[in-house]
A and B are shown apart, each in its own frame.
Chain A
Amino acid sequence: MTEPTRDTALVLKLEGITKRFGALTANDGITLDLRKGEILALLGENGAGKTTLMNILFGHYVADEGRVMVSDGAKGVRELEPGSPHAALEAGIGMVHQHFTLAENLSALDNILLGTERLASVRSARAPARQKLQDLMKRSGLTVNLDMRVSQLSVGEKQRVEILKALYRDARVLVLDEPTAVLTPQESDTLFAILKKLSAEGLGIIFISHKLAEVIASSHRVAVLRGGAKVADLATADCDRRQLAELMVGHAISETAREPGTPGATLFSLNTVSAGSGRDALRDVTLDLKSGEILGIAGVSGNGQTMLARVISGLEPLKAGEMQLDGKALAASDARSMIDMGFARIPEDRHHDGIVGAMSVSENLAIEAIRKPENQRFGLLRFADMASRAKEMIKAYDIRCQSEDSPARLLSGGNIQKIVLARTLETEPRVVLAAQPSRGLDVGATSEVHRRLLDARARGAGVILISEDLDELMRLSDRIAVIHRGELSSADPAETLDRGTLGLRMAGHSTEDAA
């Protein structure tokens, strides 16, 4: 991409921003500037401090040190009042949060109008607002049905409402936090096309990302954050993928690779299973899993993945259809029976469903096998044996904790995931269900998760890998099926698929002709 000329007016400057949360330094003296019409990518791993920095810019947090300078043409450069979203909005800064900040019970129009009028006005001036928005939509290509209640909009439409909110207030700086996390590849392409158009009209754009491909394709400049500090600030044209990846992680990276496997006979299958209701319901899902393979399930979040995981975890009763293990229908499919039959469950929300935060690491490691004789005798727990087994697992899985007695909630996300892995995989399960197993983990923990899943596969287990990360799916899966609106496509060998095809299926183009 062509870069805006160097002398283009500065619109925003962050000077020496430092923010500490207790002992953690989330931002360490970060300096950053943004010019008119520029697209700046803020690249970094989870926990690198990207979102914190943008929340300081937008006034959700107050920085411990440093200041935010904004320049608005006529008034010149001035310091932005810290800790006030209202001041940030006044200064022409618009922010699209990763978790949308929309009132679902209001229409798109009312959400955009919210806060733009004096609260004491006797009437909301919807007609002139609608006029202005229609012009904006025409110019930018961001079309939304303004009268629809937000609860009825799709994720992509909600994001467009968020961007329109900023544009309606004549934002000169637009910040987007992980804007593509919830979009299909095609929707992401459309989004970046719109952002390029807006930047050509003079909007300064900062987008937060940890995806190298979109950073390289769509930014003029890239700032890399690592461990709360800015480690690089480069013109995107001058850098390549490998260099950015190493800057982001801090060392050379080796990606876990999958050796071709030899899948065995069908191990576990779902036959026309329906479950749940509403948006996340499953409809007539058929799936077969062979031993010694990883079956990937791709899909945009909210299309039934959660329900599928709940069904296989034994947490959701089936409305129709059946599950079979070794060709025989399961007699019972409650959680306890599933564990006893050799199902390992790695839940999507590991903090909520994976551990009991107030209980110790050792108790969390034993929790699924609490009735087994090695953990209890005459109904009394054998704490000493549990502790010694916990120590072995802590060593084998490299769980970083003070001791096996520390409460599990004190551990980092990556170490919590290692507790879940140790607990579920140590029993040599036959079927492994991994729901979003690397979500929110850093590169090191992610490759550990991947290695363990590949080990399970090599041992002959069948692995169902539900993920929204196409790179992860392509790298690990033998076959990939796509889930869309609760329906699962047939599984095709990963070698025959590419991102484009998967993206189309994720948008529902193969199963039905939805535009």
Chain B
Amino acid sequence: MSDIIDILLSANFWAAALRIATPLIFGVIGALICERAGVLNLGIEGIFTAGAMAGWMAVWLGAGLWGGVLVAALAGGFFGLIHAILTVPLGLSQHVSGIGVTLFATSLSYFIYRTALPDVSSPPRIEAFKPLDIPGLSDLPFIGPALFQQTPLTFFALALVIGTAYVLYRTPLGLAIQAVGDNPSAVESQGLSVYGLRIGAVVGGSAIMALGGAFLTMSAFDAFFFGMVNGRGWICIALTVFASWRPGKALIGALLFGAFDAFQVRLQTEVGSFVPGQVFLMMPYLLSIAALVVVARRADYPRALLVPYFRGQR
């Protein structure tokens, strides 16, 4: 028992939780924007991979770190555009298109990586983002190492949560995105373009998802590996439901998952001698399923989610 309290009291644990949560924050916010507009984006897993690869490769080829972030966002936006064209004007199944985008984006990323680096055995490294030293805050006892020794992308993710909430609830664009995910004919009868809004939301949301991937290769690690996304995209889809499509709750969900994950790693070293390691690896996923069961039964789904819109049909 005291082991558990020790873990929870270490600044290092909270720092890890926030670090693990960062790519998930990008992913959930991106997925939430797509789904608020009525489009499920199962391309997320592939878009993470594409963002991770594109951002890393841009830096490896000589771009600045923020240049790499921009390239990752563009790559995400590109795959988002494919998904948007297939599902919005063409009205194809969002599930099928999303899985297709995931397979395509993942394979294309691996292909480009292998083509550029045919013979390397150990992945080349880049100079990744360093933890930001914020004068005053970073030096505070406990709080400083726990919260304020993160890389710039983590702070960017937190700012993005606030920005998304503001846009969604306070601006005409946000109202239109909420409306198009609930009743597209409301949007059309008020003279706005359903397709424009949906395509825009999917492309924008996908660009944000890709930043989650970029965080992996440019902050958490400094290289690109196969299989490094490892299901994080799927977790974000579940967290979106958990968050009831709200940015604030999305942040909480991502932090909870990050905390579980950080906790299981530490618990493993404490009691790993008599419990198999796989049990710990399973824990965050198990808890997210449990949380989903509790929350999702009452979830307030966007009413037009998964429903394609065709003009002149009702």
Q: Which positions in A face B, CB cutoff 8 Å? A: 55, 58, 60-61, 85-86, 88-90, 95, 97, 99, 101-106, 110-111, 113-124, 165
Contact = CB atoms under 8 A, between A and B. Distances in A.
20 contacts: A58-B189, A85-B188, A85-B190, A88-B191, A89-B190, A90-B191, A97-B185, A101-B185, A102-B183, A103-B182, A105-B178, A105-B300, A105-B303, A106-B179, A114-B176, A115-B190, A121-B172, A122-B171, A123-B170, A124-B172
Contacts of B300: 105
B9 interface: no
Give the one of B173, B179, B314 with max A CB within 10 A.
B179
B175 A101 contact: no
A114 B183 contact: no
Interface string B144-177: 0000000000000000000000000011110110
B189 A106 contact: no
Contacts of A89: 190-191
Give the one of A99, A103, A113, A116 with max B CB within 10 A.
A103
Contacts of A116: 190
Nearest to A98: B314
A393 to B, nearest CB: 33
B302 interface: yes
A104 B175 contact: no
B189 A119 contact: no
B298 interface: no
Contact of A106 (B171, B182, B185, B188): B182
Given A61-B312, A121-B172, A101 B189 contact: yes
B180 to A, nearest CB: 8
Contacts of B303: 104-105
Contact of A114 (B175, B311, B312, B314): B175
A352 B137 CA distance: 63
Nearest to A87: B191
Give the one of A55, A105, A120, A123 with max B CB within 10 A.
A105
B186 interface: yes
B182 A95 contact: no
B170 A106 contact: no
Contacts of B70: none
B200 to A, nearest CB: 9
B70 to A, nearest CB: 21
B62 to A, nearest CB: 35
A103 B172 contact: no
B192 interface: yes
A88 B190 CA distance: 10
B65 interface: no
Nearest to B300: A105
A60 B183 contact: no
A22 to B, nearest CB: 14
Nearest to B191: A86
A123 B314 CA distance: 32
A99 B302 CA distance: 18
B192 A115 contact: yes
A105 B244 CA distance: 12
B187 interface: yes
Given A103-B179, A113-B172, A115-B187, 6 more contacts: A104-B303, A105-B178, A106-B175, A106-B182, A114-B190, A122-B171
Contact of A60 (B172, B175, B176, B311): B311
Contact of A113 (B175, B178, B182): B175
B173 A119 contact: yes
B171 A103 contact: no
Interface of B: 170-173, 175-176, 178-179, 181-183, 185-192, 300, 302-303, 311-312, 314
Contacts of A120: 173
Contact of B172 (A102, A119, A165): A119
A-B pairs with lowest CB-CB distance, top 7? A115-B190, A86-B191, A103-B179, A117-B172, A101-B189, A103-B182, A101-B185
A111 B186 contact: yes
B289 to A, nearest CB: 26
Given A89-B190, A110-B175, A104 B170 contact: no
B179 A114 contact: yes
A116 B312 CA distance: 22
A165 B190 contact: yes
A504 B178 CA distance: 37
Give the one of A86, A88, A111, A114 with max B CB within 10 A.
A114
A178 B34 CA distance: 35
Contacts of A123: 170-171
Nearest to A84: B191
A157 B32 CA distance: 30
A118 B172 contact: yes
A111 B189 contact: no
A124 B182 contact: no
Contact of B183 (A61, A103, A119, A122): A103
Given A104-B303, A105-B303, A115 B182 contact: no
A95 B189 contact: yes
B312 A111 contact: no
Contacts of A115: 176, 187, 190-192
A122 B166 CA distance: 9
A101 B186 contact: yes
A104 to B, nearest CB: 6
Nearest to A116: B190
A100 to B, nearest CB: 8
Given A101-B186, A106-B175, A124 B191 contact: no
Given A61-B312, A106-B182, A97 B189 contact: yes
A446 B192 CA distance: 40
Nearest to B167: A122
B61 to A, nearest CB: 34
Give the one of A97, A102, A119 with max B CB within 10 A.
A119
A85 B189 contact: yes
A95 B190 CA distance: 10
Contact of A119 (B176, B181, B311, B312): B176
Give the one of B170, B175, B181 with max A CB within 10 A.
B175
Nearest to B197: A119
Contacts of B302: 105
Contacts of B314: 99
A78 to B, nearest CB: 18
A328 to B, nearest CB: 39
A103 B186 contact: yes
Given A61-B312, A120-B173, A124-B171, A104 B182 contact: yes
B187 A114 contact: yes
Contacts of B179: 103, 105-106, 110-111, 114
